[in-house]
Structure 1
């Protein structure tokens, strides 16, 4: 009888250990995990669709990055909306642009700052923090899903700061809405994907800005070195 009671108690204990985390607990674990992220890769697409004032236009920028947070190093491959391809290496606030294959030129510090803030792993956590109370939360076998749909002024201002988005001809308090979805690995508490859509719509038309980010290769990036300037 005692053995049976002991087995039942053990089963209940194990069941309690497997109890899914709450949204608040998952957010705390994600914040704690950030300090353990020394490096990662990031693929990010930023697209703009415009249908306003009788005009239609679509543009897209693609960026693939390797980030060495521990040594403050960044390697960025960028494809601009006009198809131009750029490769930038940043370390310790210095930025170098590949002028032509194998030839590097030092570029403005503002470029280093701009790229660094866009690809930093702290950005998804900062954005999520602004709207954490209003975020929907679901859990699957392998992932946590955070979902937001609404408008938050601080969230928009931060998106504008990091991604240089703006909406001429729209009232940002009345005409804008934001959708944000974030997927987090359940085992490591690392952010895997972040998808953001900012919608602006009024009588003049509609603009949609989309920011899709995928994170991978955590703590597996080799040390990034500055190239030799030509």
Structure 2
């Protein structure tokens, strides 16, 4: 009988550990987990679709980035809007671009600053925190799902700061809609995927900016070595 009681007690304990969290508790624990993330891999796609004044234009940028937060280093493979492939390495606020195979050039400091902050894991946590009360929250066996649709001035300014987005010819308070879907692993409470869309629409036309990011390989990135500066 004692053994049966002990097993029953253990099952209750384990069930308690897997208890589904509320939205507020999940957000707090996600923030607490951030301090345990030293490195990760980030795949990001940024695309712009314009249908305005009789013109239709599409452009996109793809980034595959290894982030070493502990040592403030980044290595990124970039495919820009022209289809050109670039490799960039960043350390301590300095960005190095591979000018040609084996030859690296130091670029403008502002490039490193802007790239580093938009690639940081804190970004999805920050944007979630800005619209906590308006977030829809769902759970499954494997994950937590946060969704948002609407317009928030602070949220727009934050997205503009990180991703340098702009909507010329649109009233940002009247013509814009922001949609966000952020997926979180239930066990680790780490963000796995973010899908952000900012849509501007008025009588002149429509502009849609998509920022899709995937996070993986947590705390498994090897030390990023710097190139020899040319």
State the TM bucket, normalised to the shorter chain. Answer: over 0.9
Q: 2: distance between equivalents of 1:50 and 1:125?
A: 29
- C-alpha offsets along residues 187-213 of structure 1, whole Å, 9 cap, x if unaligned? 111100000011100000111000000
Note the 1:100-179 alignment, pairs <5 A: 100-179=100-179
Please name the residue that 1:208 is paired with. Answer: 208
Q: Paired residue for 1:180?
A: 180
SS at match of 1:174: coil
Distance verdict in 2 for CA 1:155–1:12, change over 3 Å: same
In structure 1, what is the Cα distance between the partners aligned to 2:227 and 2:50? 39
**SS of 2:70's equivalent?**
helix
Deviations 1:135-162 (A, max 9, x none): 0111111111111111111000010011
Aligned to 2:63: 63
1:30 aligns with 2:15: no
Written as runs of structure 1 = structure 2, the 5 A alignment for 1:89-100 is 89-100=89-100
Alignment of 1:184-203 (within 5 A): 184-203=184-203
Unaligned runs of 5+ in 2: none
Q: CA RMSD in A?
A: 1.9
Kindly tell me the number of residue pairs found equivalent between the two proteins: 230
Q: Structure 2 CA distance, aligned partners of 1:123 and 1:195?
A: 12
Equivalent-residue separation in structure 2 for 1:226 and 1:153 (angstroms): 39
Q: Are the structure 2 counterparts of residues 190 and 16 from structure 1 closer, same or farther at C-alpha, using a change threshold of 3 Å?
A: closer
Looking at structure 2, the residues matched to 228 and 17 of structure 1 have their Cα atoms a distance apart, in angstroms, of 49
Aligned-partner SS, 1:27: helix
SS at match of 2:44: strand
Residue 52 of structure 1, CA deviation: 0.6
Question: What's the secondary structure of 2:86's corresponding residue?
Answer: strand
Alpha carbons of 1:10 and 1:174: their partners in 2 closer, same or farther (altered >3 Å)?
same
Distance 1:61 1:45 in 2: 6
SS in 2 for 1:71: coil
Q: Give, in angstroms, the shift of residue 77 of structure 1.
A: 1.1
Q: Please say if residues 91 and 225 of structure 1, whose CA atoms lie closer than 8 Å, have aligned partners that are also in contact.
A: no
Q: What are structure 1's unaligned runs of at least 5 residues? A: none
From the superposition, tell whether residues 18 and 95 of structure 1 become closer, same or farther in structure 2 (CA, over 3 Å).
closer
Matched, 1:81 2:81: yes
Helix, strand or coil: the match of 2:37? coil
Partner Cα distance (1:71, 1:208) in 2? 35
Q: Is the 8 A contact 1:182 1:194 kept in 2?
A: yes
Whole-angstrom distance in 2 between the partners of 1:38 and 1:204: 46
Look up the match of 2:39.
39
1:18 deviates by 3.5
Is 1:44–1:63's contact at 8 Å kept on the other side of the alignment? yes
Q: Which string of whole-angstrom CA distances, capped at 9 and with x for unpartnered residues, describes residues 4-29 of structure 1?
A: 99887776665444331101111011
